[in-house]
A and B are shown apart, each in its own frame.
Chain A
Amino acid sequence: MPFLLKGVVVTIELTVMAAILAFIMAFIAGFARLSKFAIVRGITQIYVEIFRGTSLLVQLFWVYFVLPFFGIELSAMMTGVLVLGLNYGAYASEVIRSSILAIPKGQTEAGIALNMSPSLIMKRIILPQAMLIMLPPLGNYLIELIKSTALVSLITLHDLMFCGTMINNVTMRTIEVYSLVLIIYFLLAYPLTLAIRRLEKRLSAGRL
């Protein structure tokens, strides 16, 4: 059991760091996709399509096992954070982009009529409204991210899944071990679902 808890810590670490990277990437790429410069949009599009179009597991293997041939050696943890972060960042950038586009044009126009600068309009008018739209899908991605971290056990990172498998190999109590692992993943994900729901309620105060 203590061994399993060590795995939980690694899973949480990995999730938090990958989520932060994903969030940053999502915002950068989301805004870049709205850029007026075609080249910025193009590069971002390539990034998004590469990570969306290939398997997450293969990406992990590729970075961990292939990159060393080019002289780039990353630890299992680094690989996990990088690949998961870039991968989910690519998906989530679509959410950022589309929720900004979903805010009616009249809001921007009202801002212009009040002589607000473009950045002020984005920060105080568009984003606060877009947040509300992006929150549920971003929450979904976050929960999916937690569960996807199990894949890093395959590149030897000692996360929850890896530790579970190790214990199983020693004890052979397959039913108990994997059921426990299942429950722990649920216990990690469910509070997040609740937290996101509460945040959503708070953000929508007075609006519905």
Chain B
Amino acid sequence: MSEIVTETSNNGIQNFEPIVRYQKVSKSFGDTEVIKELDLDVAPAEKIGIIGPSGSGKTTLIRMLMTLEKPTSGTIEVDGELLWHKRVNGNLVPADEKHLRKVRSKVGMIFQQFNLFPHMTMLRNVTEAPIHVLGLSREEAEERAITMLEKVGLKDKLDQYPRQLSGGQQQRVAIARALVMNPKIMLFDEVTSALDPELVEEVLAVIKEIALEGNMTMLLVTHEMQFAREIADRIVFINGGTIIEQGPPEEIFENPKHERTQNFLRRFNKKN
């Protein structure tokens, strides 16, 4: 199955100190190996669009970075620190909860299903973690939250509950909730896949705005090819748990070298 040799990252961005580094990362669920010895370096502030067929492992890839899935083998580094391991006397040992929480604080994630807290108003959804995780005062947390909710265009919905909002609005609140924690790296897991088509635009516009601000590292798993092309510095095509091809968007979309990439994009264009 794995006759493909993964190309190492010769994609224009070179000589950087990676903010995220996957090294020989594998992940199996039972007997199924979804990620196979994958290597990937991400530069600070880089925007990476991760594309590939469903079941290719692209969501698992970012879920491991959010510590939602534990790699079966290999290491992941975030900002120079091992994520799932600790170095004790030169040996790698599994990280404890304390270490995980420390490294994890640099990462945030937006989910396909929004995952807002249904028992909290929009404002409380956004202030919950700043108050109870960062230890901010309620006033300070609310001030920050309102700034963020304003940024996503939802300042007038503070006292509403998730059920009272459209999917697009919910997802924008979820973005504000993640932003307020000020992560260096933001992960987007097919964030528009659960939305009605007419609501996709408003969410993409918000993400684009964040991307244009520049300093946040972003990994976007997406099926929105046009969008990925617009905002990504690099496209990574994954199939069967390995990176088949990667490079600048123009190159991948217009001139894909690998047969599997060509097939995937052809099928994709046909569908749309």
Contacts and interface: CB of A to CB of B under 8 A. Distances in A.
A107 interface: yes
B27 to A, nearest CB: 16
A113 interface: yes
Contacts, number: 66
A114 B163 contact: no
B113 A106 contact: yes
Contacts of B161: 206-207
A67 interface: no
A112 B97 contact: no
Nearest to A118: B97
B119 A109 contact: no
Determine which residue in A104, A106, A110 has the highest number of CB atoms from chain B within 10 A of its CB, and name it: A110
Interface stretch (B1-9, B32-40, B43-51, B102-110): B102-110
Nearest to A117: B101
B220 interface: no
Nearest to B181: A114
A208 interface: yes
Interface in A171-208: 206-208
B190 interface: no
B163 A125 contact: no
Interface in A84-118: 104, 106-107, 109-110, 112-118
A206 B121 contact: yes
Contact of B68 (A109, A115, A118): A109
Contacts of B177: 114
A128 interface: yes
Contact of B118 (A109, A124, A129): A129
Given A124-B132, A206-B121, A112 B115 contact: no
Contact of A120 (B104, B119, B132, B178): B132
B137 interface: no
Q: Which 4 A-B pairs have the closest CB atoms?
A: A206-B161, A110-B115, A114-B129, A106-B115
17 contacts: A106-B111, A107-B117, A110-B116, A112-B104, A113-B68, A113-B107, A113-B109, A113-B111, A114-B108, A114-B128, A116-B133, A117-B97, A125-B117, A206-B160, A206-B163, A207-B119, A207-B161
